[in-house]
Structure 1
Amino acid sequence: MNMDYYRYIITADAPSREIILAFLGELPFDTFEETEDGLHAYLRADADAFAIEQQLSDISGKLSFSFKRELVKHQNWNAVWESNFQPIQVEQFCGVRAPFHERLSEVRYEIVINPEMAFGTGHHETTYMMMAQMEALDWEAKAVFDYGCGTGILAILAGMLGAAEIDAVDIEKPAYESTVENARRNGVPHLKAYFGDLSKVPERTYDIILANINRNVILNSLEALYERLNAGGQLLASGVLQVDEAMVTERAAQVGFECRKTMHRGDWCCLLFEKQ
């Protein structure tokens, strides 16, 4: 089923945006986009918008921001995506572009994705950091799992870097479908995509798990992801605000992870954990 979304246009002063994001991260928004005037927060149209807006009103009263809602129909995602999307480049390591963009000749790895979703295109700081950190990891002949794959960018990049086995999963049907199509388009036929939650993925272990989702999903999944990693395996996670970094690293340590590296970009952080 194609999904419509509500886009909440939030106007806020720059100094307050990080704390606003921290509060909004507690609500069931799918993703956020930072803008010149504040940010956009996306909510599935089948969610309880009335209840969410009551909470938004309470938060806005404390943090002094304004918001308005607009409906974005699924069939309009292409137009939204194309109007906002510019090619992404992580130094000379890798880049992401659409078929209608010119080739990125100066990068070692180029990923081409179809404009079928507004999310998961790599524009967000978290996806940029995930790709940047992937450059330093050893992927040759590794088994990899992309948890919350979006359009499949990270799983595809893992395949280009030499991963031998790649599984990916997403709870959104369009994300699953985009991952399948983008894997084919980018010549990564051994990527196996699954539609649903973690229970839909075969019971097995991996050398590397990628999780670019959000704080709450990461916190709730740490134990399950730990069990799905081989000894010495690595979990690369993002979608976490810097204000929540200590919370996530402390919980990860309780599960048995050791934080090996952190990266910051904007208000966000990207964390590399190792299974002890």
Structure 2
Amino acid sequence: MKMYLKVTFSPINQEASEILMAQLAEIGFYAFEESEESLVGYIIKADYNEADFMSSLPEKTGFIVEELADRNWNQLWEADFKPVVVDDFVGIRAGFHPGLSGVLHEIVITPKMSFGTGHHATTEMMVRLMRGVDFRGKKVVDFGTGTGVLSILAAMRGASSVYAVDNDEWSIDNAVENIQNNNCKTIEVHQAADLAKAPASDIVLANINLNVLLAHVSEIGDKILPSGIIILSGVLETDEEKLVSSFENEGFSTIRKINKGGWMALMMKK
């Protein structure tokens, strides 16, 4: 059985929490829970490197580490999972929640250890940017699909095909389950760490982290069709210049930017 580590940081303020999340994401943490005075991060035990972890922490940061098996993690996640509503556009809920009214798109997510339930600012910002894009008849790549929530939304918005890719086996299994539960027929899910086998597309969605985005700038550029759009997040506001300049060197220009809680999301066009 795959084992996970649950790391709880407390006390911690919101600003420090946002910065720490970004640093932890770069060393393999990919699921987080925030409260007013604490931050909880999750990582696959086999991916945990103590030296990297300790070097990412500010001085005098208190933390507690616990081991979790798959089943234990799911029970905790389900107990904490609450519906997310983004204006009148999208409602994201679990199957055990009652249906949501007053939203254009309702997405049902089985809450497991995959990033992208709508609770984190980056997922919410991706959803907001997607509202302003015409997906009808478009080919889409979702790089780092996590739960599959962005792929599902793209399909609901009329995408002709969605190529969802993630390097984590757990995310792949979760995404497939969520896609089936939302009756999306135009999404293909693939396990990979890059976009080598992804088709050329009109739209690329990538809610990952700065290091992964920078490592795949050229690859993302190669997969975009003329006049194509990329929507990016998973990056702190303080890293905006580094991210933007890298994509500008590939011929992209910024169309729109939004920020929330120290994080940013970008829509760019080639």
Task: Confirm or deny: 8 A CA contact 1:98 1:113 kept in the other structure.
Answer: yes
Is the partner of 2:76 in helix, strand or coil?
Answer: helix
Q: Could you tell me how far 1:75 is from its partner in structure 2?
A: 1.4
Does the Cα contact within 8 Å between 1:194 and 1:200 map onto a contact in 2? no
Deviation string 1:220-266 (CA, Å, 9 cap, x unpaired) is: 11110010000110010111111111211111112221111111111
Instruction: Label 1:48 to 1:271 Cα distance change in 2 as closer, same or farther (>3 A).
Output: same
The 1:15/1:162 distance shift into structure 2, 3 A limit, reads: closer
SS at the partner of 2:88?
Answer: coil
**Corresponding residue of 1:102:** 98
Q: Note closer, same or farther for the CA distance 1:16–1:113 as it changes in structure 2 (3 Å cut).
A: closer
Q: Partners in 2 of 1:60 and 1:43 — Cα distance?
A: 19
Residue 34 of structure 2 is aligned to residue 39 of structure 1: no
1:53 CA drift (Å): 4.1
Specify the alignment match of 1:235 in structure 2: 230
* Superposition deviation, residue 42 in structure 1: 2.1
Q: Is the 8 A contact 2:143 2:195 kept in 1?
A: no
What is the match of residue 257 of structure 2? Answer: 262
**1:1-276 aligned within 5 A:** 3-11=2-10, 12-56=12-56, 59-61=57-59, 64-199=60-195, 201-202=197-198, 204-275=199-270
**CA positional deviation for 1:14:** 3.7
Shift of the 52–218 alpha-carbon distance from structure 1 to 2, 3 Å rule, reads same
Q: 1:176 to 1:18 in 2, by over 3 A?
A: closer
- Cα distance in 2 for residues equivalent to 1:180 and 1:28: 22
Question: What TM-score comes out, normalization by structure 2 length?
Answer: 0.92
**Maintained 8 Å contact 2:78/2:112:** no
User: Aligned with 1:246: secondary structure?
Assistant: helix
Q: Distance in 2 between matches of 1:16 and 1:147?
A: 27
Q: For this pair of structures, how many residues does the alignment match?
A: 269
Unaligned stretches of 5+ in structure 1? Answer: none
Alpha-carbon spacing, 1:71–1:175, altered in 2? closer, same or farther (3 Å) = same
> What is the one-letter code of the residue matched to 1:60?
P
**Structure-1-length-normalised TM-score:** 0.91
TM-align CA RMSD: 1.9
